[in-house]
A and B are shown apart, each in its own frame.
Chain A
Amino acid sequence: MSARDAILGRLEGSRPAGAIAREAAILANDPERPLLAHEALIPQFLAQLGLASVAATFEPVRDWSGIPAAAAAYLDATALPRSIYLPPDPRLRACDWSGIALRETCAPDKAAAVGRAIAGVAETGSLIFETGPATPMLPNFLALHHVVVVEARTIVAHLEDIPARLREARAHYWVTGVSGTTDIEGQYVRGAHGPRYLHVLLVDEAP
């Protein structure tokens, strides 16, 4: 007997799939989750970014054309050279990046990388990334400074609202703050393996 058959043989149940699904559907609702004021998702999202456990900074940007200037301002403010990794995202590439040296690859621990999140979550301050041709994922973990562009219109309330914004990608990454560890004496320090600094550029285009 194969291991599969042996294990499943011990787990045989006679319940019909429909009955199991109905029970699961009831349990999928989460009335206990944190409450959010739906008319003020952006302030709540930004408040989460500022928590000590998330430790991100942010800058509102009026429209996409303002992204390069905001990125340059961040590099200047953190005394970094004006050089940054830019993913092959058409929307980001369409901006005018003159004045900043763009890198096509992100070597380990090179200072800064730009990333584009497909959504943000007000409940936790999470930034959602998805794999795909325009979104290499490794640079988001290799850079010391991660500059993330997210559009205000994509901020959702709860974690359960994320799937509605996902395409059918292979993997999705929910990034909630900078890389951290409490592995030595329980004391929190930043930049364990991933980015030590996370700077969010929130594109808030007027309707």
Chain B
Amino acid sequence: MSGFTQRVEDALADPVLKIAVERTAGTAEAKRAAAVGAFPDFEAARTRAAVIKDHVVANLGHYLQQFEANAQAAGATVHWARTADEACGIVIGICKRADARSVARSKSMLGEEIGLPHALAEAGIERIETDLAEHIIQLAGERPSHIVWPAMHKTREQVSALFRARHREPHLEETIAAMAESARRHLRSAMLDADVGISGANFLIADTGSVCTVTNEGNAELSIMPPRVHIVTAGIEKVVPSLPHAIHMLRMLARSATGAALTQYTTFYTGPKRAGDRDGPEEMHIVLVDNGRTQMREEGLAEMLRCIRCGACMNHCVVFRQIGGHAYGSTYPGPMGAVLTPALDGLSANRDLVHACTMNGKCQEVCPVKIPLPTLLRGWREKSWREGLEPQTVRRALGLWAWGVRHPRLYRLGSALAVRVMRQRARAGWISRLPLAGAWTRHRDLPAPEGKTFLEQYAQGRRR
């Protein structure tokens, strides 16, 4: 049994996980639907968003150099990193030069991708996660299970127990509001005393050199303002030409992620503190991280670089809703994660992920930048076949099927027989056990065929 299969077995056997995932993903799905319904022409807006991102990715070198020049002119230092290790090395280097004992970190998926939490721990630098969900999983010693709601897999009861054990003055009432208040008390002083603030970037504005962060909690602002040094880690695909382009993407991002018209705190930083400024960091460093992105662009995955990390694809994914994010075993879960992970960490170790999809197309339907996720997953499946990564059972079964479709009479006979056997085994329209389909029926029933095979029905229709 592969690691992925084992994790899925564990996830399906967890009675609490599905409740937790349903509570958040279900709410997100309903809120997004309302926001999209209220938008004048969301479909046209999605197309525009996709075209903006394609324009950026096609001219990425141009925009990165423009961004670099403008950010430097504003007093920021721009660093470049080819790999995750290079990026972490740069961040740790800046922290050490600043004599940092503690850093306040505002949630960034890129930081997770490059393994920054681990690198900081190795360097002996205390890390204060300031996003509420990241704080929860830091206390629990876990990894994010969703890119917008990293602690989605936790129920309120589990969070409550965690806070009671770890907070200095934990909540007295068993309400979510009281728990959030407990975290606020706990994190405040740590944030204000941090030596370095580290954030990601939702957008890099090329024509001004500004970095844009969005949060609903205000934790990015509180992590960045008090410390002497601000470090931004950003994927190179985050650049947009100008503020109006960012605004269009912001409209799409907020609606797709939380169903709001705009995130509560949308902030643009252009360089470090200036003469006369009352607050803000004295140093601003921006680390531009490639980590496989130029390769994705060269190798047919340019469309994946449109992704703005809204999480809508996973909220709407029937597989994600069953197994949650941890089962994927990667930084990025769900449909976008299944496409990204093989590019970041190699296909052979992640072959299972590209098969963990029903191809129902829901992710592509809700994606604000129209990433053809099922098509990209199919591309990975083909590559896995070509490279001989598919196991013997799959190769044999597909070989048999390929032989079958080349012999139409036999194929028709076989499928007609299969349909009749399945109908015979069904109880009230569902099959609970079926030879050769044990992997399916172990966790759920198989719907029984309604009537005859398609070709039989087609032939009947023609006769009429």
Q: Which residues of A contact B (CB under 8 A)?
A: 2-4, 6-8, 10-13, 15, 17, 20, 23-24, 27-35, 48, 53, 88, 108-109, 123-124, 126, 131-133, 135-138, 141-142, 159-160, 163, 169-187, 189-195
- Specify which of A32, A35, A193 is in contact with B217 (CB 8 Å cutoff): A193
A-B contact pairs, 28 of them (CB 8 A): A11-B61, A13-B62, A24-B55, A27-B52, A28-B242, A32-B44, A34-B40, A108-B192, A109-B188, A126-B262, A131-B278, A136-B278, A138-B279, A141-B218, A159-B250, A170-B272, A173-B221, A180-B216, A180-B217, A184-B159, A185-B24, A185-B155, A185-B156, A187-B176, A192-B180, A192-B184, A194-B218, A194-B265
Residues of B within 8 A of A185 (CB): 20, 23-24, 155-156, 176
Q: Whose C-beta in chain A lies nearest to the C-beta of B217?
A: A192
Residues of A within 8 A of B264 (CB): 175-180, 194
Residues of B within 8 A of A180 (CB): 216-217, 264
Q: Which residues of B contact A (CB under 8 A)?
A: 20, 23-28, 39-42, 44-45, 48, 51-52, 55, 58-62, 64-65, 74, 80-82, 86, 130-133, 136, 149-152, 154-156, 159, 176-177, 179-181, 183-184, 187-189, 191-192, 216-219, 221-222, 225-226, 236, 241-245, 247-248, 250-251, 258-274, 276-280, 288, 290, 294, 297-298
Residues of A within 8 A of B242 (CB): 24, 28
For the A-B complex, the count of residue pairs with Cβ-Cβ distances under 8 Å equals: 250
**What is the predominant secondary structure among interface residues of chain A facing chain B?**
loop
Residues of B within 8 A of A173 (CB): 221, 265-268
Residues of B within 8 A of A35 (CB): 40
Within the complex, the shortest CB–CB distance from A150 to chain B, in Å, comes to 16
Q: Evaluate contact between B80 and A136: CB separation under 8 angstroms.
A: no
**CA gap between A122 and B329 in the complex, in Å:** 43
Within the complex, the shortest CB–CB distance from B255 to chain A, in Å, comes to 10
Q: Evaluate contact between B40 and A170: CB separation under 8 angstroms.
A: no
Residues of A within 8 A of B150 (CB): 183
Within the complex, the shortest CB–CB distance from B110 to chain A, in Å, comes to 15
Within the complex, the shortest CB–CB distance from A14 to chain B, in Å, comes to 10
- Specify which of B130, B133, B261, B268 is in contact with A171 (CB 8 Å cutoff): B268
**CA gap between A159 and B190 in the complex, in Å:** 34
Within the complex, the shortest CB–CB distance from A18 to chain B, in Å, comes to 11
